[in-house]
């Protein structure tokens, strides 16, 4: 029964992730059609954009859709089967996740303003960027809580979970996708 509940919770986490990504992509489409962000243009059958859209990023195509879905499944299942970390660890994860989100927002708003995308430009943050912030923060918090549980496993406080290994692998894939975007100067 424990595995069934862990699976259901994991699938619910995946559904929540994919639902948000569908909504985020819809906001981007709506904002583009309304002219509030520059539109992609087809040139010779290829998409060209004056700004990058979500689909232009490997972190969105591979990282958010696949790697974070797998990671969210693994975190939800592991939390069910291994339990939550201490309240102090949870509070620390929330605080760190919020600081990372705020720092990233400031980076995108001020440092990257000359490299616009559908979320941020020299004019500031768009609705696409604003919609992304709570998702970004929630994923950081979830990942940090998952990391706190992995820390408890590593120090022998609780038994290892195979799902934790899956979550670690998914996090590696996410950061590799982000790295590919950096190498290709998309980020």
Residues 138-150 have pLDDT tens digits of 999 999 999 999 9
Asked whether the predicted pLDDT for residue 178 surpasses 60, the reply is yes
Q: What is the reported pLDDT for 135?
A: 96
What pTM, to 2 d.p., does this model score? 0.90
Give the pLDDT mean for 6-29: 96
Tens-digit pLDDT profile for residues 39-49: 775 444 555 55
The three-state secondary structure class of 58 is: helix
Q: What is the mean pLDDT of the chain?
A: 90
145 CB-contact burial (10 Å; exposed 0-12 / middle 13-18 / buried 19+): buried
Number of domains, the chain: 1
Residue 170: domain span:
2-183
d(CA 56, CA 92): 33
Coil, helix or strand at residue 117: strand
- How do residues 126-142 score in pLDDT, each as one tens digit? 999 999 999 999 999 99
Mean pLDDT score, 114-135: 86
Residue 82: is its pLDDT beyond 80?
A: yes
Q: State mean pLDDT over 107-135.
A: 84
């Amino acid at each position: 029964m424990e595995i069934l509940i862990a699976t259901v919770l994991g699938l619910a986490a995946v559904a929540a992730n994919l639902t948000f990504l569908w909504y985020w992509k819809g906001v981007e489409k709506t904002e583009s059609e309304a002219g509030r962000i520059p539109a992609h243009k087809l040139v010779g059958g290829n998409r060209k954009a004056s700004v990058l859209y979500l689909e232009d990023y490997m972190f969105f195509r591979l990282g958010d859709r696949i790697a974070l879905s797998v990671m969210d499944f693994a975190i939800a299942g592991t939390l069910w089967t291994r339990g939550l970390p201490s309240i102090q660890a949870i509070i620390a994860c929330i605080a760190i996740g919020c600081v990372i989100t705020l720092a990233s927002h400031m980076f995108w708003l001020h440092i990257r303003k000359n490299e616009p995308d559908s979320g941020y430009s020299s004019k500031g943050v768009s609705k696409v960027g604003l919609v992304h912030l709570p998702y970004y923060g929630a994923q950081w918090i979830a990942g940090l809580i998952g990391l706190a549980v992995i820390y408890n496993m590593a120090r022998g406080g609780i038994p290892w979970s195979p799902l934790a290994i899956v979550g670690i692998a998914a996090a590696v894939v996410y950061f590799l996708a982000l790295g590919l975007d950096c190498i290709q100067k998309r980020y």
